[in-house]
């Protein structure tokens, strides 16, 4: 299994999808961190010009734009300008429905109607920013906040206005200065810049493709306006894998990947974090987003566990399940060119004070194993599933540790010693832990 076989398999996927689904073109890239592993395309970005796509050809991102808006919101949270549990009405007093929180808007739990007021998808005339704000009084709360997942472009238009208010400019200005410029995303733009793919509607019963007009979203731009090349979307995917701290704290991006809402209640294959979609694959969970606009469908999906991601585009209005396809590219690459297994090497010595903490402990009939790994204390149930990560601790004072990830994150682990200094008991999240299995409550 090699990168060459992985590239050949991905190329076959692209060519097959373009042909079988009758797509004008498919453009795709696989990346490991900032390194492009493979780029490939099939078909035509512009039929009339007989132009084939390249990694520099722009396609419309559609709702992938929401991930950029979410990053702007999280930047403001980290700067102390807002709290995710603020009611949106605190910052936008004119919002008729001011009770949904910023967190719920990000996770599509606000209950706000899906689209801005009016039949914008028939007229293809989106409200200006002023009209959007003026029409908020007419928008419906179609579900009680936090009742269930309900996708809303309007929610992200409102979040864009939140960004504008708190930065003192426009959403577009904040995006350029706070995200696009710092990450060098020169081929990510609000309007198409040549070379770009012409959008099409392929007739379902005939081999003809009609050109789609570019629908300018105006005040709804924070939900779906952006265009980007494959190279730029790979850079954005690399940011989701390994965030640039100057743009957003890596811990904040990790927070954005935590599940907030399950979109697929039956199979549990699609969920939402904070502005990010979570795709459940057979062997991994991918994070990213899909997007669709007239004539364009796109997706970016990354496996943070494996450090590999993919982005994919098509210039057709339907027939391209972009999220699943990006996931297929990631899975295919890792099947043929898996992540190298890092060799074990001896690490730093265990502090003498904590040698007596390591080993097996018992609590409530469960056996817990404490280890010292890569300079930190870890704890795991002896029968934990291989996919369940251990709890990891950081020092929190003398003979105390705080869980920073894994089981019981945030809880305290306390060490109890006898008069000679020997460790005789632990308390984890207040549960006593002893060296021998005891009846619960007998310790």
- What local confidence, expressed as pLDDT, does residue 1 receive? 67
Question: CA 327, 333, 334, 340 torsion: positive or negative?
Answer: negative
Q: At 256, which helix (H) or strand (E)?
A: helix 250-256
Q: Which residues of the chain have pLDDT under 70?
A: 1, 443
Q: Same domain, yes or no, for 317 and 362?
A: no
- What local confidence, expressed as pLDDT, does residue 257 receive? 98
Q: Same domain, yes or no, for 66 and 171?
A: yes
Q: Domain residues for 415?
A: 352-433
Q: Same domain, yes or no, for 73 and 189?
A: yes
Please identify which residue in the block is written with the tokens 């339907």. Answer: 318
- Whether 62 and 292 have beta carbons less than 8 Å apart is answered as yes
- What local confidence, expressed as pLDDT, does residue 98 receive? 73
- What local confidence, expressed as pLDDT, does residue 443 receive? 61
Q: Same domain, yes or no, for 372 and 294?
A: no
Instruction: State the alpha helices, DSSP H only, in 3-87.
Output: 3-20, 65-78
Q: How far apart are CA 360 and CA 375, in angstroms?
A: 19
- Whether 293 and 215 have beta carbons less than 8 Å apart is answered as yes
Please identify which residue in the block is written with the tokens 């269930």. Answer: 148
Q: At 405, which helix (H) or strand (E)?
A: strand 400-405
Q: Same domain, yes or no, for 308 and 391?
A: no
Q: Same domain, yes or no, for 397 and 309?
A: no
Q: What tokens does 367 get? A: 């056996």
- What local confidence, expressed as pLDDT, does residue 72 receive? 98
- Out of 336, 362, 385, a domain closes at 336
Residue 271 lies in a domain: yes
- Out of 281, 306, 336, a domain closes at 336
Per-position DSSP letters for 87-154, written without gaps between them: BHHHH-TT-SS--SBHHHHHTT-S-B-SS-SS-HHHH--PPPHHHHHHHGGG--B-S-TTSS----HH
Domain count within the chain: 2
Residue 343 lies in a domain: no
- Whether 103 and 145 have beta carbons less than 8 Å apart is answered as no
Residue 249, phi then psi, degrees to nearest 5: -55, 130
Residues forming a β-bridge with 373:
376
Residue 438 lies in a domain: no
Instruction: State the Cα angle at 164 between 158 and 169, rounded to 5°.
Output: 155
Strand, helix or coil for residue 131: helix
Strand, helix or coil for residue 241: helix
- What local confidence, expressed as pLDDT, does residue 377 receive? 97
- Whether 200 and 159 have beta carbons less than 8 Å apart is answered as no
Residue 196 lies in a domain: yes
- For the chain, the distance separating the N- and C-terminal CA atoms, rounded to the nearest angstrom, is 54
- What local confidence, expressed as pLDDT, does residue 95 receive? 79
Q: How far apart are CA 26 and CA 163, in angstroms?
A: 34
- CATH number of the domain residue 428 falls in: 2.40.128.50
- Out of 308, 336, 364, a domain closes at 336
Strand, helix or coil for residue 63: helix
Q: Same domain, yes or no, for 155 and 116?
A: yes
Q: How far apart are CA 191 and CA 216, in angstroms?
A: 8
- CATH number of the domain residue 238 falls in: 3.40.710.10
Q: How far apart are CA 105 and CA 107, in angstroms?
A: 6
Q: What tokens does 179 get? A: 């995200």
Question: CA 181, 185, 186, 189 torsion: positive or negative?
Answer: negative
Q: Same domain, yes or no, for 332 and 357?
A: no
Residue 187 lies in a domain: yes
Residue 345 lies in a domain: no
């Amino acid at each position: 299994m090699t990168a060459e076989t992985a590239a050949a398999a991905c190329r076959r996927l692209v060519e097959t999808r373009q042909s079988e689904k009758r797509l004008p073109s498919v453009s795709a890239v696989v990346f490991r961190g900032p390194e492009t592993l493979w780029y490939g395309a099939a078909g035509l970005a512009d039929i009339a010009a007989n132009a084939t796509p390249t990694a520099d050809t722009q396609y419309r991102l559609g709702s992938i734009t929401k991930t950029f808006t979410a990053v702007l919101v999280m930047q403001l949270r980290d700067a102390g300008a807002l709290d995710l549990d603020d009611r949106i009405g605190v910052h936008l007093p004119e919002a008729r429905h001011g009770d949904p929180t910023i967190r719920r808007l990000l996770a599509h739990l606000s209950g706000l109607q899906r689209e801005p007021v009016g039949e914008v998808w028939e007229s293809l005339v989106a409200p200006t920013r002023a009209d959007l704000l003026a029409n908020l009084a007419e928008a419906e709360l179609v579900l009680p906040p936090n009742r269930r997942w309900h996708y809303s472009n309007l929610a992200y238009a409102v979040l864009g206005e939140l960004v504008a208010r708190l930065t003192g400019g426009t959403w577009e200005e904040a995006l350029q200065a706070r995200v696009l410029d710092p990450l060098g995303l020169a081929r990510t733009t609000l309007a198409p810049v040549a070379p770009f793919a012409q959008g099409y509607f392929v007739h379902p019963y005939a081999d003809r493709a009609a050109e789609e007009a570019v629908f300018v979203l105006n005040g709804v731009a924070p939900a779906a306006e952006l265009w980007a090349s494959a190279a730029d979307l790979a850079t954005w995917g690399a940011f989701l894998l390994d965030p640039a701290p100057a743009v957003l704290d890596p811990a904040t991006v990790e927070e954005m990947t935590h599940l907030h809402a399950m979109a697929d209640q039956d199979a549990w294959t699609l969920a939402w974090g904070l502005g990010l979609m979570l795709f459940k694959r057979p062997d991994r969970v991918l994070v990213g987003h899909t997007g669709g606009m007239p004539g364009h469908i796109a997706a970016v999906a990354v496996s943070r566990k494996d450090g590999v991601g993919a982005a994919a585009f098509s210039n057709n209005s339907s027939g391209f399940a972009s999220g699943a396809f990006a996931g297929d590219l990631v899975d295919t690459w890792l099947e043929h060119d898996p992540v190298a297994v890092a060799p074990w090497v001896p690490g730093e010595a265990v502090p003498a004070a904590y040698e007596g903490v390591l080993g097996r402990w018992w609590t409530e009939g469960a056996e817990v194993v404490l280890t010292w790994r890569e300079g930190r204390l870890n704890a795991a149930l002896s029968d934990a599933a291989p996919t369940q990560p251990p709890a990891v601790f950081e020092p929190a004072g003398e003979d105390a540790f705080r869980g920073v990830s894994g089981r019981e994150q945030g809880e305290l682990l306390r060490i109890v010693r006898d008069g000679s200094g020997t460790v005789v008991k632990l308390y984890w999240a207040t549960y006593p832990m002893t060296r021998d299995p005891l009846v619960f409550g007998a310790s």
